Structure formats: structure tokens, C-alpha cells
Amino acid sequence: MDASIASLYSFPKEIEALSKKAESLCRDAFARMEEISYYNEAKVLKAFADNRVSETHFAGSTGYGYDDRGREVLDAVYAQAFGAEDALVRLHFVSGTHALSTALFGILRPGDTLLSLSGKPYDTMEEVIGIRSGKTGTITNGSLKDFGIDYEQIDLLPDSLPDLTAIRKKAPLAKVAYIQRSRGYAMRRSLSIAVIERMIRAAKEANPDILVFVDNCYGEFVEEKEPTEVGADLMAGSLIKNPGGAIARTGGYIAGRRDLVELCSYRLTSVGMGKEVGCTLGQNEAMFEGFFFAPSVTAAAVKTSLFASALFSLMGYQTSPRYDEPRTDIIMAIELGSKEKMCAFCRGIQMGAPVDAYVTPEPWNMPGYDDQVIMAAGAFHNGASIELSADGPIKEPFSVWMQGGITYHTGKIGVMLAAGELLKADS
């Protein structure tokens, strides 16, 4: 079988041998991911059937988008699959950050306190909350803080465990508790659904009125349950990550309690109009189809990540999470130890992309970052990180974060190309 691939890609013998070994190390984890995908695919399929999805729902609307039945059914399909009362799935969300920001502005009011239970939130959320001034150089910029919403944070304990004692103590002061499921680009573990459930229980025992909001980016369909199925009141994510299945062209979603989703819809459009407007311009079909593919595409990304974790550990690199650790998101970090190796790694990942494979990624100065950043991305949709991609800031310990892979075999080839480039950089 590999003989025919060798006529297309000439991997070093050593990489081929290590890849075989890596794949056999992953056998159990792959089987587990297949089971999870089977269940999630069934969950989504059932949601399509129960909500009577039909071809007429793919027709696009324009202008105000009144009576766009496809848009309404898509919301219902997401809600059912995520075990939520309602959902707001829109191409009008320009990114994950926009969906998260809309949710927070939707449910918080001046004088309220937002309490993070999972330490420092994702970089872009710091500016939304108003704890970092960012490019505007000021926090009187319409951030939550600028609107009189306080922010408090409970850091994770060593080993990324939640501080349940501090959660019980501080929850009574807060209107909204904030949990970030994925590690994002931080050096911490991602929080499993089981851990999130414990955090929610602790917060609600101490304050039955608290609203729990989860940043679910990168987490959808990696486990059998979503945060809204274990007590979260609201969650949000991006459609150019897992739930868009690499087919949705842009967008985001918010899902959870019906009254809260309604409030968020007032923030996305306007008070009174809410969910009733927003034309879909012919994008409903891609959003439905992407959601249909999402569980299996997510499983491909997780398998790519598991394979990479095993292969690079065999090559002597520190990877996190390891291939034998349970997953709750699609991200993995690899400590490479030098700028040259980061460049080599990203070069290889880029060579494995379907789009712009001929391009050589170089470190550059990115707005908002103190260090130069290198990025490998050759995606169908600009910035889509459900597609194989890697990036990292050029600084100690010279780690890259890798995610995506919309089919396992193409993801595997990208990872093997990265391994080949690393090997060359080493010699």
C-alpha cells in the first residue's frame, strides 16, 4: 500500500517506520474516537430527521431575511444536537470571538460581575472583557469594563485542575461564570466535559442564580456531550472550527437557554428584531451540510492530532496532550526548542495543505503580539483552523500549536511532511 504513496511523496525511511509505529500506538485512541464519532453522527442525523430538514430550507433569502425557514430549522437542529433549548446559528458572526462577545454583552449588565473559573481567557477575549488595552490603546473602547462590568478570575490549580473551593467562595458575587473548555494557545490542559460538569455544580451550589457560559471553541463533537448537556446555560463557538465541518464558509453559533439566546439575538441584530431577521444569502445549505459532516471531520482532526502526538514523541519531542491522554478539543502543542525547527515544522505542514502548498511560511510581526509569529495554513476558508494548521510565537520554549485535518489521511501526510522537514533541520 505504501509503495504507491512512495511514488507521490518520498518520506525518509525513518519517518515511514516511525509513522507505522505511531499509528499502532494510537490504535485504542483511534477506536475510541470512532465510537464517539459514531454516536455524534447519529445525534446529528436524528436532529436533521426530527426537524424535517428539506431541500426548501436551502433556498437563500436576501434583504431583511424575514421568514427564512432554513435559518430557523438550522437553529433547531443545532439546539437538538447540543441538548440545548435554542440556538442562534448565523453567518453574521464574523468569528468565534464575535459570537463569544455577543453572548457576554447579551447577558451581562452594568454593575454585574463576570467570573472566569478557568484562569486567563483566550487572548482576543481579554480586549472584549477589558483586561488588556490592545490595539485601541485604551479600555474606554466599548469593552465590558467600559460598560461597568467587573471581571474576576479564578486561576486553575497545578495540573490544570479547577479550584472548586475558590469557585464556591466567589460564585455568590457573580452574575455570569465563564469557563473556557479548550486550552487555546495556553500551556494548560483543556477541560473535559466531566471536569466542566464539576465546576458548574460547584458554582451553582454556591449560587443557584449564576449563569454559566462556556467558550466551546475547538470542543464540539470531541466528546459525546456538550457543555449545555451538563448544566451550562449558554455556550458559543466558531463555524470555521469543528461545527462548520470545513464546509460552512463563515459564521458562529450561540446555544443554550431559550431566554438567554433571545437576549443574545437582540445584541447581534437589535432589540425587538432578534432572531427574526438576518438573510442567509444562499449559505444555509453549506451550514447544514457542514454540521452534518462536523462529527466525522472533528474525528479526523482528533485522529490527526493523536497521530502527530505519537509520532513526535517517538522522535523525542514533548507533546501535550500525549496520544494516550483523553481529548476534549482538537489542539496539540509540541515543544520544538528552536526557531529553525519551528520554521521547518510549519514548512512541512504547509507542504501538506491542499491550498497554497507551494508557499513557505516565515515568521512575521503580528499586531497585538510582542514576539514574531509563524503560521502554516493552507485552507479552503481563510483562517479555518478545523483545516490542518500550525502556529506559534517565536519565543521560549519554541512550541507550535497544531490543529485540524479534515480527512485523516491528508492530515497524516501533512504531519509526516512536517516530521521530514524537522529531520532535515536536525541533520
Give the binding site for ligand PLP (CB under 6 A): 95-97, 100, 122, 124, 180, 182, 184, 215, 217-218, 238
Compare residues 256 and 420 and give the one whose CB is closer to ligand PLP: 256
Compare residues 218 and 253 and give the one whose CB is closer to ligand PLP: 218
Compare residues 218 and 345 and give the one whose CB is closer to ligand PLP: 218
Smallest gap from residue 385 Cβ to ligand PLP (A)? 7
Q: How far apart are CA 9 and CA 417, in angstroms?
A: 9
Smallest gap from residue 267 Cβ to ligand PLP (A)? 16
Burial (CB count <10 Å: 0-12, 13-18, 19+), residue 407: middle
In the bound complex, which residue of the shown chain has the CB atom lying closest to ligand PLP?
Answer: 96
Smallest gap from residue 391 Cβ to ligand PLP (A)? 11
Q: How far apart are CA 246 and CA 243, in angstroms?
A: 8
Quick check: 222 and 29 in contact, CB under 8 A?
no
Compare residues 70 and 219 and give the one whose CB is closer to ligand PLP: 219
Smallest gap from residue 64 Cβ to ligand PLP (A)? 27
Compare residues 143 and 182 and give the one whose CB is closer to ligand PLP: 182
Handedness of CA 221, 26, 321, 365 (dihedral sign): negative
Phi/psi at 391 (5° precision): -160, 165
Q: How far apart are CA 91 and CA 54, in angstroms?
A: 20
Compare residues 11 and 253 and give the one whose CB is closer to ligand PLP: 253
Q: How far apart are CA 331 and CA 159, in angstroms?
A: 17
Residue 223 in grid coordinates: 466528546
Compare residues 122 and 151 and give the one whose CB is closer to ligand PLP: 122
Smallest gap from residue 185 Cβ to ligand PLP (A)? 8
Smallest gap from residue 95 Cβ to ligand PLP (A)? 3
Compare residues 215 and 391 and give the one whose CB is closer to ligand PLP: 215
Quick check: 256 and 234 in contact, CB under 8 A?
yes
Q: How far apart are CA 65 and CA 255, in angstroms?
A: 21
How far apart, in Å, are the Cα atoms of 156 and each of 163, 164, 211, 404? 6, 9, 20, 26
Say which residue the cell 444562499 belongs to.
282
Smallest gap from residue 214 Cβ to ligand PLP (A)? 10
Q: What is the dihedral of CA 400, 414, 408, 254, to 10 degrees?
A: 40
Smallest gap from residue 338 Cβ to ligand PLP (A)? 26
Smallest gap from residue 241 Cβ to ligand PLP (A)? 6
Residue 227 in grid coordinates: 457543555
Compare residues 102 and 180 and give the one whose CB is closer to ligand PLP: 180
Compare residues 61 and 143 and give the one whose CB is closer to ligand PLP: 143
